[in-house]
Amino acid sequence: MTITFLIAEIAVEPGWAVGAVPMDDPTLDRDLLHDANGRPWVPGSALAGSLRAHLRRHDARHGTHLDTTLMGSRPLAHHGDTTDPSPLWILGTHFTPDPGSDTSTEVVGQTAVDRHRGAARANSLRYSRTVAAGGNLTAYLRHDGPLTDDQLHALAAWQPAIGRDRTKGGGQARLRRLLHGSIDPTTPDGMRTWLAHAGPALVEAVATHPITPTPPPTRPWLEADLHIVDALLVGDPRPTGPAAHRARDNQPFVPGAAWKGLFRARAEYTLRSRYGPDAACGQQTGCGTCPTCDLFGHQGQRGRLVFHDSPIVEAKRPPARTHVAIDRVTGGARDGLLYETAPVTAGRLHLRIDALTDVPDWAHTVIQHVLRDLHDGLIGLGSRTTRGMGTLRLDPPPTPDPVTIPDMVTIPDLEPNPQPESPTR
């Protein structure tokens, strides 16, 4: 009886989270799973879905059946059908933060934008806890029986994803190293190793043969370099202190959620302008049938694009600015409404968008139009865009072609109004 053990070492970027329902903090909407020592934890089930999805893509490309061979039967189609259990076990994981950092967490806020007013939607503010540190996630796996070379190389091509908010830059990871080894507990040497070790030590004693992982695709679906023109403020709502820009380890950045919200809203505007009011989603939670729901996702389907976080380099962060609201009746300063903001006034940032799956050809043109509108100052990023903030420039600016979506009819050009006849005397 041969048992194969594997160790997958996964490099995880900051900002990941495997969620849980908050039980002790009523102000928190999404919490983290923790182990017995209070450290952020990734259960095996969080990796199993990503691995099965990878094997399905591999089967579609190569005509194999590794999905069901390694991960067991799919959900039953009919009552009474037989199923096969998974011979591949994900025994557990262990997260080690990068040197110089700890497993500190951060609470971030997000708000939905009203599609009609363009401002924050009432009662949509939500808080989530994420892991602020990157590091190495070690996953221990067991397979009942030997693994062929083809199966091992298919596993080495896995590009894992960790937790939630995939399309907003969360859970970014890559397979750094894969180790494997086999043991037969019915032999004297195998039984000696089996009895001398337990838990992770047993897996580490057996899985000693490395496999070079297949390098991930390095070419993004779209990327652009931008610089801040006036000031930029993408902040977390906070009860006290000045409204400050989002930062991690004192490094300001634009979160992927801010990029995704901006691009989706402007893409919807572009499609409605081109194809009429029914061409883009008008429902706050997504209709699930329009082109933008298919591209950016909705409650029943994940989006096709991943918007990465964008660190701001060479950022200038002057002291906080003081503002006061004006009383509309007296024209003077209104009592009790003095507040401060601390935006980033200069800097450069890099936008990267990746594709999770096949993306239609028209989507690239729509995204290019959004970038052009951003460069031309027709839209802004972050808060206070109507007060001269959030202006970005691209170098060089894109020059996209007209948006063309198959099977959609454009709005006919309006005929010029006929001139009234001159009155006769």
DSSP string, 26-89: TT-SBEE-B-TTS-B---HHHHHHHHHHHHHHHHHHH---HHHHHH-PPSPSSTT------SEE
pLDDT of residue 25: 72
Q: Walk me through the domains of the chain, giving residue ranges and CATH numbers.
A: 3-74+85-211 (3.30.70), 222-394 (no CATH)
pLDDT of residue 9: 95
Cα 410 to Cα 169, 362, 405: the distances in Å are: 34, 14, 9
Using alpha carbons, select from 175, 28, 43, 45 the residue that is nearest to residue 105.
28
Low-confidence ranges of the chain (pLDDT < 70): 23, 75-82, 102-103, 116, 118, 237-240, 284-285, 409-425
Token pair listed for 202: 């047993």
pLDDT of residue 423: 45
pLDDT of residue 100: 73
Q: Is 114 exposed, middle or buried (0-12, 13-18, 19+ CB in 10 A)?
A: middle
User: Does an H or E element contain 293, and which?
Assistant: helix 291-296
pLDDT of residue 282: 72
Q: What is the CA radius of gyration of the chain?
A: 26
Contacts of residue 39, Cβ cutoff 8 Å, sequence gap at least 6: 95, 103
Token pair listed for 134: 């990157």
Token pair listed for 334: 């209104």
Torsion of CA 33, 35, 39, 44, to 10 degrees: -70
User: Does an H or E element contain 4, and which?
Assistant: strand 3-12
